[in-house]
């Protein structure tokens, strides 16, 4: 199978869905002639024109608000928020309005919007352009939260998100844009709410999120040389969360490490740990270990930022504590 980058997989998903369904359109800052801040949308304006690839003012609330209005009128907008750090400006629109409309209307209203955003941790973009806080949006019933870690998942999950009748927050990772992987040319769906076992193992389960899945796989490869068999589980979506796949893995291995890029206190690792405790406590042979970022703002200095981030060495250390 051919290999393409994570960014190319996202572009291909958007292109194929726009070719399939004329109701799908894009809106966001600098997505037209500029092709997006990270060139993910390069060439889309030339192919689909300004009616379906719409540059917007610098107003995140307006971008998401316009997407909601368009969705209520029968369109399927894909809105881009350039950095995840800017998403809180649109949180009222996304969480208070879009996520609740189906519930409060008794199912009469549908808001089929996708909000794409990315986090730039690891690119020395400082604390105002590197934040990662998906757990905020796990706490919004009615909103789906997707975080692909591979090009294959990026394409399939984005197609599923666009076809979904519910609002979906689609969180990409800037450091993954150039990563390559096998991706089919034809359209396909990866179901939202379905975790994936990225690597089978017997001794310990690592549940990792987004970029950290790549680091967990590196750790598993390194520990294999020492005779430690690591299973890596990627939730892929945090809401809905596939609790069964996670707990089934821990029941098999008896040990768990949970790893993500966000802060440790009240972060994704806390919810994933609670999931394991509730569903597989009696199977644990050792305490669960969490690997996450420290509770400080993200440093601008590249050496300090590297120290701040979760790497394979941190996961190896955590595994060795309990195996």
Q: Which tens digits make up the pLDDT trace of 188-219?
A: 999 999 999 999 999 999 999 999 999 999 99
Question: What average pLDDT score do residues 264-282 get?
Answer: 97
- Answer whether residue 187 is part of any domain: no
Query: Can you give the CATH number for the domain in which 110 is found?
Result: 3.40.50.970
Which of 129, 163, 211, 290 is catalytic? The answer is: 129
H/E element holding 196?
strand 196-199
What pLDDT, on the 0 to 100 scale, is given for residue 242?
Answer: 98
pLDDT-derived band of residue 177, with 50, 70 and 90 as boundaries? very high
pLDDT in tens, 144-176: 999 999 999 999 999 999 999 999 999 999 999
Sheet holding 53-55, edge to edge: 53-55, 24-28, 76-81, 114-119, 168-173, 144-146, 237-239
Do 85 and 109 belong together in one domain? yes
Do 233 and 111 belong together in one domain? no
- What is the dihedral sign for C-alpha 242, 293, 256, 173? positive
Do 164 and 26 belong together in one domain? yes
Question: What average pLDDT score do residues 27-41 get?
Answer: 95
Say how far apart CA 151 and CA 158 lie, in whole Å: 11
Do 201 and 175 belong together in one domain? no
User: What domain range includes position 168?
Assistant: 3-182
Q: Is the pLDDT of residue 34 over 90?
A: yes
Percent of the chain with pLDDT over 90: 100
Do 214 and 107 belong together in one domain? no
Query: Can you give the CATH number for the domain in which 262 is found?
Result: 3.40.50.920
Do 170 and 275 belong together in one domain? no
Question: What is the DSSP secondary structure assignment for residue 281, as one 8-state letter?
Answer: G
Say how far apart CA 172 and CA 253 lie, in whole Å: 30
What pLDDT, on the 0 to 100 scale, is given for residue 1?
Answer: 85
Do 247 and 106 belong together in one domain? no
Say how far apart CA 25 and CA 17 lie, in whole Å: 9
pLDDT in tens, 82-136: 999 999 999 999 999 999 999 999 999 999 999 999 999 999 999 999 999 999 9
Say how far apart CA 232 and CA 253 lie, in whole Å: 11
- Answer whether residue 188 is part of any domain: no
pLDDT in tens, 288-310: 999 999 999 999 999 999 999 99
Do 213 and 135 belong together in one domain? no
- Answer whether residue 312 is part of any domain: yes
Domain stops at, among 152, 182, 212: 182
Looking up tokens 């597989």 gives 280
- Residue 298 φ/ψ region, left for φ over 0, alpha for ψ in the -120 to 50 degree band, beta for the rest: beta
Question: What average pLDDT score do residues 219-229 get?
Answer: 98
Domain stops at, among 182, 209, 238: 182
- Answer whether residue 135 is part of any domain: yes
What pLDDT, on the 0 to 100 scale, is given for residue 53?
Answer: 98
Do 91 and 238 belong together in one domain? no
Q: How far apart are the first and last CA of the chain?
A: 37
Q: Residue 129 catalytic?
A: yes
- Answer whether residue 305 is part of any domain: yes
Domain stops at, among 148, 182, 216: 182
Do 110 and 49 belong together in one domain? yes
> What is the rounded average pLDDT for all residues in the chain?
97
- Answer whether residue 213 is part of any domain: yes
- Answer whether residue 70 is part of any domain: yes
Number of domains in the chain: 2
- What is the dihedral sign for C-alpha 102, 105, 106, 110? negative
- Answer whether residue 108 is part of any domain: yes
Q: Is the peptide bond before 240 cis (omega within 30 degrees of 0)?
A: yes
Do 81 and 228 belong together in one domain? no
Do 168 and 212 belong together in one domain? no
User: Helix, strand, or coil here: 112?
Assistant: coil
């Amino acid at each position: 199978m051919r290999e393409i980058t994570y960014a190319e997989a996202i572009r291909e998903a958007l292109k194929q869905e726009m070719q399939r369904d004329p109701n799908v359109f894009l809106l966001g800052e600098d997505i037209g002639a500029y092709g997006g801040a990270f060139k993910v949308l390069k060439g889309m304006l030339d192919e689909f024109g300004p009616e379906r690839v719409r540059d917007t003012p610098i107003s995140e609330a307006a971008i998401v608000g316009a997407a909601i209005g368009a969705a209520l009128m029968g369109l399927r907008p894909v809105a881009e928020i350039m950095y995840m750090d800017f998403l809180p400006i649109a949180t009222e629109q996304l969480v208070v309005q879009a996520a609740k409309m189906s519930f409060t209307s008794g199912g009469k209203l549908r808001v089929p919007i996708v909000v794409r955003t990315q986090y730039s941790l690891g690119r020395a973009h400082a604390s105002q352009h590197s934040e990662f806080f998906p757990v905020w949006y796990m706490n919004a019933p009615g909103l789906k939260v997707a975080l692909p870690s591979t090009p294959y998942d990026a394409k399939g999950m984005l197609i599923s998100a666009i076809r979904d009748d519910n609002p979906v927050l689609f969180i990409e990772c800037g450091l993954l844009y150039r990563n390559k992987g096998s991706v089919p040319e034809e359209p396909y769906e990866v179901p939202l709410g379905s975790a994936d076992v990225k690597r089978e193992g017997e001794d310990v389960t690592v549940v990792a999120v987004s970029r950290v899945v790549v680091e967990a796989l590196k750790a598993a490869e390194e520990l294999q040389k020492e005779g430690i068999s690591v299973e890596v589980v990627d939730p892929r979506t945090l809401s809905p969360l596939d609790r069964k796949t996670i707990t089934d893995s821990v029941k098999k291995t008896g040990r768990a490490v949970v790893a993500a890029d966000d802060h440790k206190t009240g972060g994704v690792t806390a919810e994933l740990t609670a999931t394991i405790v509730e569903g597989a406590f009696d199977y644990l042979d050792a305490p669960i270990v969490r690997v996450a970022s420290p509770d400080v703002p993200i440093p601008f200095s590249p050496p300090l930022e590297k120290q701040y981030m979760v790497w394979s060495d941190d996961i190896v250390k955590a595994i060795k504590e309990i195996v």
